[in-house]
Structure 1
């Protein structure tokens, strides 16, 4: 059976992920993501109002023209998890393919919301839920499987396409978390089984984000303990404490909510994406928040909440807000500019339970946001966080578990590939033979 892989997006940057695998006449697309930093370079751009061609020219979503070179029928579009760099282009591109969108329950709900917000295309692809551990027959000889992984968002999976020539494992994005705060641990047992079943693993596509960092990525339970230590250490402060994290990081939001209560403050979630992700997770029973906890997304309701906090006393509340990357329109950025009723004062604490995504636009915005907060007297607690991506030891363990014939680095540019290429070569792979460092828009023929 001919096996071919199209590396469409995410092979020159972190963001706008999209990969297609052709097995005979069957094609599976993994991810359709957005590169948000490309959008943020343009003032007041609303992606839902833009045509896909404009966004492709902007470098914001994948250029999927290479799909016309794949001779087969798309049987499924499979987003691995709900981050925008993996689902943000579905509302712009999915309608081009006569195929269902297949994802885990939380992810499919976020995809549905993306599609409902679309203003240019009527995306009518069927939406199909599939749980981790389940399989779907795509044709007589090709099967799709979801393997549970742990990441900085709940309900993440690594999809596997089983073919007569071996399995193709799409390994974006994960860390090896054996004691997660929410959900099940990573299913390493299943990965080891896949590596040793039948013809084994033909190809492994891997996220290289932290490949140059030594050791292993800590568990989310480590971040929870760090966050607890920080908040308990400032519980006697009688002024304002504000926290920010990734809106999609439900486990981290859960910890913040619980520790707010422990230190005698009422938690309140503020910002559109905070309301979207946490509200969806609660509605689908992935998390149980206090019944009386406020969750507000629209600016007017957010400002009303800020006024209430100022009236009743900042010492009684823990606002958990958007803006950890310094996004121009996010809550924390507005607070730093003095554009909300919430007034920061000397000594107030701002806890960043997130790292800045290592990309120049984000780094610049985050720097500006922190400077604005400090100018108002805020004291910053930085990097109360653990990554959602594998470090060196995790990569060694995955290669040992899967023993793939071919490895394809992804989720980086050429510079970012280098540590992972070195790591793979130390395990016997050779660049240009069975280790394929590639670019957006290329085809890799694995089996003729």
Structure 2
């Protein structure tokens, strides 16, 4: 069977992931993501009302015109999880393909929300829910399988396309978490089984490939957060926290610990309200009796009430962990909200900076503004959702793929992965394929 892999997006940067695998006459698309940094540099951009071609020209979504060079029919669009760099382009591109969107329950809920907000295109693709551990036929000879992985969002999977030539594993994004706060551990037993059955090609996320060691479990981040927050139990001023709105396990910990120290948690920001509401719809184990406000007028009203009743009684959990210009924490730093920071007030960043210059600059600006108002910054109360070098070593040891395509980084960021793979005897240009957006790699010729 002839097999080709189109590296559509996410092979020169962190963001706008999209990969297509053609096995014979059948094509499966993995991810359709957004490069958020290309949007954030424009203050007034509203992607919901923009045309896909304009967003492609901005570098915000994948340029899927290379798909016309694949001689096959798209049978499925498979997002690996619900982060915007993996689903954010679905409202702009999915309607071009007569294929269902197949994902885990939480991912499909988030895709549904994205489609509902779309103002330019009518997206009518069928939404199909499939759980980790399940399989589905793709055409007469291939099978799609979801293998459970752990990441900084619930319901993440690595999809596997089983072909007559061997398995193709799309390995974005995951970490080796054996003690997650929500959900099951990474299914290494199944990965080892697939490795014994035969892996033709492994496409891997290289975000942290240049970092030594292994990244800790979310349980470690939870304990770090508990330690920081319990140390503030007797503080009688304002405490504000921010994290990834999609990080349901981290939001759960923030809510629980804020109550432990005698403060009322309040979720403030449209994305926090959206992700938490979606999590509740799929019965994720987070508190449902939480006060939430998603729109500016409602947020400002809640902040006014917090100031009137006493900052010491509340624990606002807000958007703005990357220093986004229009996010609530950034507006607090600019003094544009009813919430006022006093000398000594605490701001907790339970999030790392996404390794991209726009995010790094925005985060620096946000922290500087907050400190100018007297805030004390607690940074990096977080663990990454991406494998470091020893995690990559374990995956290669388990899978022993014939060929490897590193992704989710620029060329500099791939160097550590190439070195790790080299310790197994893989060679660049022979069985390690570094590539760029818009390329097609022939894995098996007829």
- Structure 2: any 5+ residue segments left out of the alignment? none
Query: How far, CA to CA, are the matches of 2:37 and 2:285 in structure 1?
Result: 30
Q: Deviations over 1:387-407 (max 9, x none)?
A: 000011100000011110000
Q: Distance in 1 between matches of 2:423 and 2:156?
A: 29
How far does the alpha carbon of each residue in 1:365-411 deviate from its partner, in whole angstroms, 9 at most, with x for none? Answer: 11110011011100000000000000111000000111100000000
Cα distance in 2 for partners of 1:160, 1:134 equals 11
Listed as ranges, the matches of 1:239-388 within 5 Å are 239-291=237-289, 293-388=290-385
Partner of residue 41, structure 1: 41
- 2:432 match: 435
Q: Can you list the C-alpha shifts for 1:86-124, whole angstroms capped at 9, x where unaligned?
A: 000000000000100000000001001111111111010
Aligned twin of 1:233: 231
- Cα displacement string for residues 121-172 of structure 1 (whole angstroms, at most 9, x for unaligned residues): 1010000000000000012210000000000000000000000000000000
Offset of 1:426 from its aligned partner? 1.6
CA distance in 2: counterparts of 1:42 and 1:236, whole angstroms: 42
Q: TM-score normalized by structure 1? A: 0.99
Counterpart in the other structure of 1:402 = 399
- Partner Cα separation in structure 2 for residue 361 and residue 439 of structure 1: 21
Q: CA deviation at 1:218?
A: 0.1
User: Which one of 192, 217, 229 corresponds to residue 215 of structure 2?
Assistant: 217
Q: Which runs of 5+ in 1 are unaligned?
A: none
User: Is the Cα–Cα contact under 8 Å of residues 341 and 375 in structure 2 kept in the other structure?
Assistant: yes
Alignment partners' CA distance in 2, 1:447 and 1:288: 46
Deviations along 1:213-246, one digit per CA (max 9) or x if unpaired, are 1111100000000000000111110000000000
Shift of 1:290: 4.8
Separation in 1, partners of 2:407, 2:378: 32
The equivalent residue for 1:76 is: 76
Deviation at 1:18, TM superposition (A): 0.2
TM-score with structure 2 setting the length: 0.99
Aligned partners of 1:256 and 1:42: how far apart in 2? 31
User: In the TM superposition, what is the alpha-carbon distance from 1:437 to its structure 2 partner?
Assistant: 0.4
Which residue in 2 is equivalent to 1:166? Answer: 166
Provide the aligned C-alpha RMSD in A: 0.6
Q: Which residue of 2 aligns with 1:411?
A: 408
CA distance in 2, matches of 1:375, 1:249: 29
- How many residue pairs get aligned? The number is 445
Aligned partners of 2:216, 2:238: CA distance in 1, in Å? 30
Contact 2:248 2:286 in 1 (8 A): no
- Asked whether the 8 Å contact 2:43–2:325 carries over to 1, the reply is no
Question: Which of 381, 387, 390 pairs up with 1:390?
Answer: 387
- Structure 1 residue ranges (4+ consecutive) displaced by more than 4 angstroms after TM superposition: none
